[in-house]
């Protein structure tokens, strides 16, 4: 188990919240399947399966799971059924329903078909580090992370959660690294990058699995482009892609990290071991990254 994407938030360090207290707060938002008349349902579910605590705690680190159940009701099906109904009405009343009547007809058809809609479930994992003050959502985009944050803020009274803010612009910092062809200590530049023009054209050039030639990137920077996305490796242990919003994507633990994993065979022990390894490594990675960005911005 290793998060693939990191949407990063800040808590006070240390954050005075126990696993039991957090689980108690989340109980009122525990996941239950959507009813026949509901299109969407969200709630918390144990990362370790039925009957386990909503907050899984290992060495003072917390793991949560937000489950979303959404019913799929294709617009094509609604339109087909509504069109057939409209044909019947036209035969009965001698004229076809107008725009408003068709809109209302489609709404009624959707309500009728909803109980037969196919439910699809998805889950988003959340790591909370009360010791170092991190809250990280394993989501590729901010929309899913926002769903998590909104529910948490409703459940936990006055939760002091904030977005991560740093002293220096990530775009300016990444551009500087490319221009110097050197990342700060502990980081190396990999083979993916995106440079975007700052003018009205918003022209951009992307590198994918391509050696970043310093002369080439400097030429683009001199022409007014800035780095908005950059692939990096941290301490030869974790590779990732950093974007302009400080989101971390495409996280991959490297072989040297996997080799250090303890050899446990019980599924529960392996899960806890993996979570402990991940949380320990990512906490240090985030600390080093913030330092590379000039430290955290003061309120």
Q: Per-residue pLDDT tens for 160-190?
A: 999 999 999 999 999 999 999 999 999 999 9
* pLDDT at 264 > cutoff 70: no
Q: What's the structural domain count of the chain?
A: 3
pLDDT classification of 108: cutoffs 50, 70, 90:
confident
| Res 256: pLDDT | 66
Same structural domain, 230 and 84: no
Same structural domain, 225 and 275: yes
Same structural domain, 151 and 260: no
| Res 213: pLDDT | 86
- Beta carbons of 8 and 248 less than 8 angstroms apart: yes
The answer to whether position 84 is within a domain reads: yes
The answer to whether position 128 is within a domain reads: yes
| Res 287: pLDDT | 96
Q: How far apart (Å, rounded) are the C-alpha atoms in residues 292 and 245?
A: 15
Share of the chain above pLDDT 70, in %: 94
- Residue 38 lies in domain: 7-72+117-163
Q: What angle do CA 43, 47, 50 make, to 5 degrees?
A: 80
The answer to whether position 45 is within a domain reads: yes
pLDDT classification of 35: cutoffs 50, 70, 90:
confident
pLDDT classification of 200: cutoffs 50, 70, 90:
confident
* pLDDT at 32 > cutoff 70: yes
Same structural domain, 121 and 249: no
Same structural domain, 144 and 27: yes
Mean pLDDT is lowest, of 45-59, 92-106, 144-158, 225-239, for 92-106
The answer to whether position 140 is within a domain reads: yes
Of 13 and 233, the one with more pLDDT = 233
| Res 252: pLDDT | 94
Same structural domain, 125 and 222: no
Same structural domain, 13 and 126: yes
Same structural domain, 108 and 130: no
Tell me the average pLDDT across 249-278: 80
pTM to 2 decimal places: 0.84
Tell me the average pLDDT across 242-267: 80
CA atoms within 13 A on the CB side of 71: 18
Tell me the average pLDDT across 246-269: 78
Same structural domain, 18 and 100: no
């Amino acid at each position: 188990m290793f998060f693939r994407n990191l949407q990063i938030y800040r808590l006070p360090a240390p954050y005075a919240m126990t696993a039991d207290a957090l689980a108690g707060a989340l109980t009122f938002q525990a996941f239950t399947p959507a009813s026949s008349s509901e299109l969407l349902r969200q709630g918390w579910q144990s990362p370790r399966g039925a009957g386990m605590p909503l907050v899984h705690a290992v060495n003072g680190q917390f793991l949560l799971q937000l489950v979303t159940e959404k019913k799929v009701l294709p617009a094509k099906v609604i339109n087909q059924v509504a069109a057939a109904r409209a044909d019947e009405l036209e035969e009965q009343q001698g004229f076809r329903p107008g725009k408003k009547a068709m809109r209302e007809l489609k709404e009624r058809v959707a309500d009728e078909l909803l109980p037969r809609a196919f439910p699809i479930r998805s889950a988003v994992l959340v790591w909370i580090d009360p010791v170092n003050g991190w809250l990280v959502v394993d989501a590729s985009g901010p929309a899913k992370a926002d769903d998590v944050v909104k529910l948490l803020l409703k459940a936990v009274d006055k939760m002091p959660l904030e977005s991560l803010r740093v002293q220096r612009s990530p775009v300016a910092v990444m551009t500087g690294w490319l221009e110097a062809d050197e990342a700060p200590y502990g980081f190396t530049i990999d083979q993916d990058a995106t440079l975007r023009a700052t003018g009205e054209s918003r022209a951009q050039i992307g590198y994918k699995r391509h050696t970043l030639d310093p002369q080439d990137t400097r030429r683009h920077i001199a022409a007014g482009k800035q780095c908005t996305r950059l692939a990096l490796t941290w301490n030869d242990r974790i590779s990732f892609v950093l974007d302009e919003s400080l989101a971390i994507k495409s996280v991959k633990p490297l072989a040297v990290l996997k080799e250090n994993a303890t050899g446990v065979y019980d599924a529960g022990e392996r899960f806890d071991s993996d979570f402990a390894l991940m949380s320990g490594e990512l906490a240090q990675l985030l600390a080093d990254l913030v330092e590379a960005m000039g430290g955290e911005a003061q309120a």
